Every structure is written in C-alpha cells, then in structure tokens.
Structure 1
C-alpha cells in the first residue's frame, strides 16, 4: 500500500465495491486513513516489512462504524450499524502461511474462532428475526472532508485533458490515442505529486512561522481527527443502554436529553439575611467611580444609565 493508496480506491470505485478487505498492507500502526474517492481504510500493522490487514469502506458505510476491533496484524474486525437491523460485522483475516511458527498459527486461529463465534451468533439472530423485512434506505452521507490545498488551475487543466484523451481513446480504440492518453496520465501524476509536495512545504513553513502555540495545537488536533476510526458519532444509546440506529429515535433521545438538562434544578445555598442598615448610605465618591470604570471592558453594551466606559478608563 505504500505509495499506492490511490490505486485501490480507483479500482474499487470503478467496480462499484462498497467493502474491500486487504492484506499485506505493510503499514505500521493502528489508525484510519482516507485513500481517495471518499474511501476510508482502517488498518493494523506492527511492522512495515510484513503482514498487516485492513478494511476499506465507501463514503456511506464509513459513517456507520460503531466499533473497530484489532486482534493482531493478521486479524481486524469492524462493526457497522444498519438502519432497522442488527449491527453488521466485517472480518479481514490473513492466515499464517508456510514459514510461520506453530505458536503464531495457533494464536491466529484462537483469535479468529473467538471473533467468528460471536459474530455468527449475531448473524444467526439477524437472519431469524429480519429475514422477511425490507432493508432501510440511507438518507445521505455526511459531508466528507477533503484537502484542496494542492488543487490549482494547472492540475485542473491537465486532469481535464487526460479525461478527454481517455474518452477519445475509448471511442476510437486506436493505438495512437492510447499512447496520447498514457503520456497525459504520466504528466498528471507528476503534476499532482509536485503540487502536493509544494502544498506540504507551504504547510510546514506556516507552522514554523506560527504566531502562537494555539495555531500549532489546532493544526495537530485537526490532523489527529483525520486518523480516527469513528469521525462522526451519529449513533447513540438510550437510557436503557440500547443502541439507537434510526434517525427518528436518535432525534427523540437528543430531545429528551436537552429537556432534562435545561430543566434540571440544582441545589443552591440559601441567600443569607443581613440586618437592615439603620443609617443613610454613604455617598459614592469620585475615586470609587474612577476605579469602577477602569475595571469595565471596552466595546460592551451600556446598562440602564447609558454611560459607556471611556478608552482611558477615566470620566
């Protein structure tokens, strides 16, 4: 997968595949990555030399993730919430082959049997209860985040030329048109790579010249969120702990939550009763007025006396 993350997404999109399990990713870590065309790859690997498994989801299914279980760099499972149905489980295994130790093979099959048994029981229950019901229809995906920093007019024109050359080749089926398309394809790849490199260099230069630490922390937080498995927590649980998967039920639960939050009374200490003052109040002196005005913030709305705070803090 290293250096070729866009190629699987192109193949999957052309073949209209929603879910794809991949092995030998050779990516170290246990994160999530956008590989292009709104496809998300959830992967797990302990080294960049061997093994590594992952699951690729399209733009609709990646919004339904409710749990990701990474057993090892040979076994990963994802649980998806489906409308009006029990959760759907996807397993991506990579069985040990010749050259692996017996202990490694035993560990893999123990993990696989444990995950498969639990998922099969859920699947069996689903088949019995939901076999005669019609599948629900999604109301649309949430807006996906894209990185437009490398996009420019030059790349736009080159991609447009490549698409036109591809259409011409498909219509004529001539070797000359195919050669033109291949040349433009290489030119586009090179231009995109250079544009991405320039955008990354500009990004890191802006980080070096950041005015304060908040800008750096904000950028780091945004990049970290892009690697999370579950980016949109759409599905919630009710008061009984049951997972809600229908939009109407989710909306009702949020309504109940805010009604309780906004109308809940909190205990407070009673206001102490002070003895009344038996004499006239002291007059406010000029120095007290100046100190009060100095503590006031600028550009704030005036009170009933319609007296604003002057910039100098003086009357």
Structure 2
C-alpha cells in the first residue's frame, strides 16, 4: 500500500481520536512509504513531549502530553518494529499527563490488564474496552464525554492490547478481564459498572455484559456480531494473527466471535452504534445484537465509517447519555 493511501485510510480514526487534522496532514503528506509511518509519528510525539517540557503551566504541559500519547498510539498502526516502543511511549505520556491534570487518577494493574481510573470517587464507573489494534490512548475524547456527565471512567488495555500487546495475546474471554478490573476497584467501588466497547471491543463488551452480572449498562461502537475468517481481508487477518499468536490461533479466535447465543442473555440496557459506510468483508454488524438483546437499541449512522470518527456528533452525545442515565438508575 502507498503511504498516501495508508494515511487516508487512518484519517478518520486519527481525527476521531482527537489529533488535529491540520497537523495530521502536515505529518503524513510527506511520507515516502508506509515504512516511514512509525518513525515519523514517533518524532511528532516527541515534539509534543518537548513542548510539554517548555510549557508555561501544568495544564499546558498535560495537554501536550495527551497529544503526544495520541501520536504515539497512532504510530503503532503500521505494526512494524517501532510499534512496541510506540505503545510504551503512549502509556508513559498518558501517565505523565494524568499525574499533572488529574492527581486523583489511579493507576490500575492486574492479571491481564493495565489502565487508569479517572473521575469522581463516588460515581458509577464505565470501563472503556479497546479493540483489535486500539488502546486506552485512542479513546480519550470518549472518556472526556463520560467524565463530563459525572461518571468515573476506567480506560483499559487488556491482553494483546496497547502496552500489553508485546507480552500477551488477545483472549475472547474478556469477561474474565473485566471481572478482575471490577474486583480491583475495591470496596468503595463495589457495585454495578458500565461498559463501552469499540470495534472488536464491542464484541468483548457485549460478551462481558452477557456473562458478568455486575454490568448494568453497555454500548458498542462498530462492534462485530460475528466474524467469518475466510472472508476477512488479508490485512485484518494479519493483524489478528499478530495479536493472537499466529494464523491458527487467529482463525480459532475469529471462530469464537459470534454473539448469536450470548445476545439474548444481555439483561442490561444496550446501545449499538454502527456506521453505514463501515463495510468490512467477513464482519457482521451489530444490528442482530440489538435485535436479540432484551433491552437493545440500534443507532445506525448512514454516513459513519468504522469507529464513526467522521460522525461524532451523531452518536457520541447519545452514547454518553445512555450510559449515564442507565447507570444512575441502576445506582438509585
């Protein structure tokens, strides 16, 4: 793939993650090949680290660090030798940013997960679940929307994701990961949680909602209802093979991504968001999930692409309100 085509394919995802569109074009327009993607985006992240060092206030420094975290995460999307370093730098930049901007934020680490708990100590918690090659640094704007509604947020890297991608592999049994996260929240947080899953994380979130009784509200964005390995595009299969430990493991993983039997077991209020332009061979969208779940609501956005970074006003406020209302009712 040409560098220009690769950059165009990541455009909506990058801007949806909060990267300035003008800076994105300046950085990616000059790439000679996809091999330049990781090193170039790492340099951009480092430039924001330097700005953080020179900033005149803690707020400005924290904002530059959040921007650096976004760029470092985007640097991983070429899946080259720079990806593990970029993921580690994204995690470090986010850590520094939250230490400056949110001194009350709490680092969470346990078996199979690394993340941050942010927001009011007495508020219901929403766990943000990333997907195949996303990470906790990609969905900072989603976290901000939830925090603005008075919720607490746990942004998460699970097995095979983000900073954990270099040392672990994806697992279909994500309900076990979320269960350990809820246990780690401690006595003050015992109770019900919300989930929002994005891309493959939508499958993880829906599966968890069916199997973990402490989930009181759930939303999915561009999540698959079912995967067909033979029809998946080669780039998707390649990424899945990297994240699961090989082609055979990836094929078995894809076989397990099927919510047909689990969807009717989701008792919590569920919002399913899909983009009409998100058409990937071998991926069944979430309409069947919304239909089979007892409290499922389907929100199709005809012009939305994968992760709907090109249509945020059409779904993000409604999703954040859905989780806020459902969790506050559950805790009333």
Q: Using CA pairs under 8 Å that are at least 6 residues apart, name the structure with larger relative contact order, 1 or 2.
A: 2
Judge same fold: TM > 0.5, yes or no. Answer: no
> If the TM-score is normalised by the length of the shorter chain, which range does it land in?
under 0.3
The structure with the greater share of residues assigned to helix is 2
TM-score by length of 2: 0.23
